[in-house]
Structure 1
């Protein structure tokens, strides 16, 4: 069984690569992903593997392509299940070619090698700006 840190490192790599299958595989069957701060149109919470798979499959079709994560800092806490990660996501808005940068703090709870909760505290402004830059076809 992987440590909580190893599980989170695999999740970060899968997210950067838009590897939906691995993201779903790393989630507990009833696990959830939350975005407490988000622009309109982004759900606040996805619960369970199938709901996560549906949303991420649609999202992976090319809104934003992540090229790299920079300044990644992983904090292990006094609770062995909880990992906090700070990082910058750099990529491209696919429809416009514009650069995209997002600062993220994520809080994970990992139990028995699976993520039971993933709270993604993104800055919603870059995502809102990227959404606004895309003209409907």
Structure 2
């Protein structure tokens, strides 16, 4: 990925790889942003500083993730559990991410559950839940 059009997102590659693997042949495209529809709605049901509750469109999602990649390096994404429903049109994934807050070098470990709706072999809607306390603790911890 470093030499690709998605090189700026290298710090979050494990997350993108986990999602791409979870969706398998239900979607078309190699990279996370290839499998997201142009008019995707990416919704988070938690408050995270600098991150809006609703992001509309692939371009805005890419811009937001570029900022995320400037602040957090994800070293691993694992413990994937995927639940495919509605003939594969809805996929619920549970997973963990592990990384480092770049500004402070504090370790970041979090758990997520995401509900993904697929239309025309692309992610049309994403609803995300996370362990807000884990994020808060990582962001508020003193620098190392």
Which TM-score applies when normalising by structure 2? 0.72
1:109-132 deviation line (CA, Å, top 9, x unaligned): 111221001111111122222332
| Aligned partner of residue 81 in structure 2, secondary structure | strand
Would you say the 8 A contact 2:15–2:77 is kept in 1? no
**Could you give the per-residue CA deviations for residues 50-104 of structure 1, whole angstroms, max 9, x where no partner exists?**
211221112211x111111221111111342100001111111122222111010
Q: Which residue matches 2:56?
A: 47
Q: Tell me how many residue pairs correspond in the alignment.
A: 121
Change (3 A) 1:11 1:132: closer
Relative contact order higher in (CA < 8 Å, ≥ 6 apart): 1
**In the alignment, what sits opposite 2:78?**
70
Structure 2 counterpart SS, 1:39 = coil
Task: Tell me by how many angstroms 1:26 deviates.
Answer: 1.6
Mapped partners of 1:14, 1:52: distance in 2: 17
Instruction: Give CA deviations for 1:12-59 in whole Å, capped at 9, x if unaligned.
Output: 41779xxxx933322111111111112343210110112112211122
Q: Secondary structure at the match of 1:60?
A: helix
For the aligned residue pairs, the C-alpha RMSD in angstroms reads 2.6
Higher helix proportion:
2
Check conservation: 2:116, 2:125, Cα contact below 8 A. Answer: yes
Structure 1 segments of 4 or more deviating over 4 A?
A: none
Give the distance between the partners of 2:77 and 2:52, measured in 1 at CA.
23
CA distance in 1, matches of 2:104, 2:60: 28
